[in-house]
């Protein structure tokens, strides 16, 4: 077993069969028990941090992507980067802030993996936002997980302004 958390939903198949089952994808939903600090340090927290740390899953050059590019059982995730692509791989600073907050306040103190992940994730998020602001003069709603390019609405000082709290380590 993966020791991870999954979303549950209705899945519709080509033959029109509908089934209530766990959705086989790693994404932000997988992280909520950890980023809300609901699970103790231990095997489940370590398993979740391993998914966050993995470049084939949620870690990207810009921060944590919203959906893993790799399915939990291996191979390419079938919905990563498809259709409207809004929540299918892009990096959202509000969720990255929650992850950094949880790592800083709880998991980085109790785990070497948490400490390393915190440093790497904080650097990725800050570097991405600062470089895009320097290059384009705007904060953006979301960031591309492959290039770090700022996407969608600009200027966007909503949750992307959380970068100031991240830089100051005010969680």
Pick from 9-13, 110-114, 126-130: least confident? 9-13
9-12: long-range pairs with CB below 8 Å, 24+: none
Tokens 């089952």: give the residue.
21
pLDDT higher than 80, residue 25: no
Distance CA 126, CA 18 (A): 42
H or E, element range at 10: strand 8-12
Render pLDDT for 119-148 as a digit per residue (tens, 0 to 9): 999 999 999 999 999 999 999 999 999 999
For the chain, percent of residues with pLDDT exceeding 90: 63
Q: Which residues pair with 9 in a beta bridge?
A: 21
pLDDT higher than 60, residue 8: no
Confirm whether pTM is higher than 0.75.
yes
Residue 70 Rama label (left phi>0; alpha psi -120 to 50; beta): beta
CA geometry: angle 169, 122, 116, nearest 5 deg: 105
H or E, element range at 115: helix 112-136
Distance CA 59, CA 64 (A): 5
Q: What is the mean pLDDT of the chain?
A: 86
Render pLDDT for 43-82 as a digit per residue (tens, 0 to 9): 999 999 999 999 999 999 999 999 888 777 666 766 666 6
Task: Report whether the peptide linkage leading into residue 155 is cis, meaning its omega lies within 30 degrees of zero.
Answer: yes
Residue 152 Rama label (left phi>0; alpha psi -120 to 50; beta): left
Tokens matching residue 72: 């939990």
Distance CA 16, CA 156 (A): 41
Distance CA 21, CA 59 (A): 26
């Amino acid at each position: 077993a993966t020791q991870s958390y999954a979303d549950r939903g209705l899945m519709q198949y080509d033959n029109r069969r509908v089934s209530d089952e766990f959705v086989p994808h790693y994404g932000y939903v997988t992280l909520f028990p950890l980023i809300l600090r609901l699970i103790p340090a231990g095997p489940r927290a370590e398993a979740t941090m391993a998914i966050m740390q993995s470049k084939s899953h949620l870690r990207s050059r810009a921060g944590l992507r919203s959906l893993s590019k790799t399915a939990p059982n291996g191979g390419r995730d079938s919905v990563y980067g498809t259709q409207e692509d809004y929540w299918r791989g892009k990096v959202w600073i509000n969720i990255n802030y929650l992850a950094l907050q949880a790592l800083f306040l709880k998991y980085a103190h109790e785990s070497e993996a948490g400490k390393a992940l915190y440093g790497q994730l904080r650097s990725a998020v800050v570097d991405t936002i600062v470089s895009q602001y320097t290059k384009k003069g705007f904060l953006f709603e979301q960031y591309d997980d492959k290039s770090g390019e700022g996407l969608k609405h600009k200027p966007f000082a909503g949750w992307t302004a959380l970068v100031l709290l991240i830089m100051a380590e005010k969680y």
